[in-house]
Amino acid sequence: MSSLDCDQMTAHRLGDLYEIATGQREYFRQGKTRSIADRLVALQRLKQAIQTRETEILDALQQDLHKPSFEGYVNEVLGIGREITHISQHLRQWCQPQRVATNSLVFPATAQIQAEPLGMVLIISPWNYPFYLCLMPLIGAIAAGNCAIVKPSELAPATSQLVKELIASCFDPDWVTVIEGDETVSQQLLEIPFDHIFFTGSPRVGKIVMAAAAQQLTPVTLELGGKSPCIVAADTNLRETAKRIIWGKSVNAGQTCVAPDYLLVEESCLPQLLPLLKQAITDFFGEDPSQSANYGRIISDRHWSRLVSLLNQGQVIHGGDFHQGDRYFAPTLMVEPDLTAPIMQEEVFGPILPILTYQTLSEAIAFVNARPKPLALYFFSQNKQQQEQVLAVTSSGGVCLNDILFQLAVANLPFGGVGMSGMGRYHGKASFETFSHQKSILRRSFWGETNLRYPPYGNKLAWIKRLFT
């Protein structure tokens, strides 16, 4: 095929995408997404469709990630249903204009803030939680009254296809459309003017999305990742702590943006903690996790090969086994990691857990603060004073004390990163706000007009200073 033919195919594809976008833009302009009642009906229709096709969803997640049904339901399906319920209970209240105070300078007047939909939004979702991370932002976009184009990850094809069918059964394509394809399709979508772009993925791709959005002056929400630290103090319940850490690290075979990326363990308790970590792995998955029905697989050969390349960057003390055929990679504990190597410079995004030690909490905090701000920070300690110290002097997207991942389960806690781990936030009301414009409105009366502001000014400045300063 000639380069001209390729260019023509690309142009035709981009033309199709522009046509879809034009249809959505017109649908929005006609006000068809404005009705709060219609939004609520649409969300309930989506919830019902998910319940009806639950088995198919779990099967698709199994195909793409070897995800156990328990993990598929609890970590992907359950959260979607709960989010729809939460938003449905509060949406009418959030849509009400919020009265705010005025001041003597504008008297007599009233002021309020009114949430209004942005218009047409683009949602680009990742492969690691291909159902949850595709629909969670979409729920917020629909609740706020927008049209949306959704681009699922091509690395999870079974889930992508199911999401496309699900959305098509619930929404007019001019309201919500799913566009499948590889990164070329994502690049083409980024050439279209949107009113907001919501991207979940790596910081590397996040930079590309932000650069493309800048060409259209399109605001973005970037849900990225980073090396989320887990600090373990000697005063914690070590047995329970070990179980919670291994659970949080092994869910989805470690392919979780808020999984603990490395451990910082108080040196005095390391000899006690290591056997407990190893025992937790065995308790969860048996002597050979590759035979466990409760353990997932790595998404692609490329990601699997990357994880294999990390194994020589520290001392493996447990696990380290892998099979290329089914992309199995064992839960792995590593000590003495090379701080200059990729294992400690890049997000692991897999089931390898590097373990370091510290002697004082200040030393651990300094280690964390010397690195880019993470998406999550975990601290296991029963010392309230030390907990407050960590909260006061570290910065991260979110914090969970004495557990792992559970900060995501609270609808009233906004989720998002800071610095290199992302910008913007969502979940619950934060999702509604992300996909809304907060319009400021001032209403003034003609009563009481003094003409003080109009020329000629004469000595009016003295009156202004006396009255308003």
Residues taking part in catalysis: 223, 257
In 335-383, which residue ranges form alpha helices assigned H by DSSP? 342-345, 361-369
Give strand ranges (E) for 182-261. 196-200, 220-223, 229-232
Asked if residues 436 and 117 have their Cβ atoms less than 8 Å apart, the reply is yes
Q: Which helix (H) or strand (E) holds 317?
A: strand 315-318
CA distances from 334 to 36, 277, 354 (A): 52, 11, 5
Q: Are strands 176-178 and 109-117 parallel, antiparallel or unpaired?
A: unpaired
Asked if residues 76 and 131 have their Cβ atoms less than 8 Å apart, the reply is yes
Asked if residues 320 and 332 have their Cβ atoms less than 8 Å apart, the reply is yes
Bond into 455 cis (ω within 30):
no
Helix (H, G, I), strand (E, B) or coil at 18: helix
Nearest in space to 247 (alpha carbons), one of 356, 125, 378: 378
Bond into 456 cis (ω within 30):
yes
**What is the residue whose two structure tokens read 């319920």?**
85
Q: How would you class 263 by CB atoms within 10 Å of its CB: exposed for 0-12, middle for 13-18, buried for 19 or more?
A: buried
C-alpha torsion angle, residues 78, 83, 88, 92 (rounded to 10): 170
